[in-house]
A and B are shown apart, each in its own frame.
Chain A
């Protein structure tokens, strides 16, 4: 018994070292899991990009599986993600909506003009009202919304081909089957 007491520091150290090692090896350590999984998309109705039309409201995220992408012209990772979004729009038949977050509308328009516009509907969220309602921490983030208007998945950071193929696409297909 006393012996174990003297071993205690070593045991605690071992536990901590394992915890640190697991944490160092975790690529997702900065990602905050969404609180809204399986909950309904919060009610909102956002203004469109000026001149573009096709505004976005929560009602548009119903009836079929859809993607909701948070972006902004100020967001560097969004540029990196953009080709993937264009590919999704081109190759898969799934509505992709965007929220232009904390952006100057003109800057957002110019950014889309330069990099291409894969979005169906776009809403402007200049003061993070909807972003906070969605529990967004940064851009890009992408939600998968089911036909029932419930959020089923959130991806933080640029969608990589791997995430798309291994996680998002199978989920979308499953949601389509079950509805």
Chain B
């Protein structure tokens, strides 16, 4: 009998020991290095130092249905890894109770290098971006306050927050920081193109891919600039207005007529996988996109002058081979390491 008590005692001791080691703030720093062909980081890591536990918590939250009002729609619902974290095949994103959003979900990649977010730039700090989908009644339909209450009553999250943050508090600030830590780490920079420009692993581009790159530099790169493939501006690219949506783009932010129908120039990384295209997902293939640029543009009232041709029509003239080679080049931006990286995978 005595022995049993001793063993039980010992067990309690051992258990509590291991629990102590498990719970509690032990910051293991995570390194985030800008790829050599990228511009500088814009995310200020001083306000939110990356740690393993913070990243893991952010990942749990990213795949957590409790962030939505019916506990069923996590961020990952519209941001699936295999499709560059977009809503595979959907022109418009879906939300709680069958709600249909107004826009096509953007990829989550290289956000640490951007200065604004969303198709219209409605978020100017990555930490604050998740507030929009979480509280939108067309997306996750929750309140931040309510999400925090749900997480507070979950022992698993209590432990995860304790490990991730010095104050250990389950609160909005720490939740948003953790989500940012996860998103900041999601860097896509190991496509065939990247290895080619960085002279890695003796990677070369085919003749057609090189022709595509040449056309890209001549006709596309002024907007899809830098190796982020976006100049981060908002432009009206002459899409015919869909009267059903009547999406005025960035106009909604400042109610400035100069912003009518302007949308953010999206990155083209992993573009092969992130279909459908445009802010409303109206084009299912890259061929359809290039055909649109060649002969589909309309004067909707505010088209970017950069797209005006000498004959006073809007568009970017592309012949059949230019289109074919451009698409070959765009496919070199597919980063399979990123699309299958287990650090970002749910399972």
A and B found bound together: no
**Which residues of chain A have a CB within 8 Å of any CB of chain B?**
none
**Which residues of chain B have a CB within 8 Å of any CB of chain A?**
none
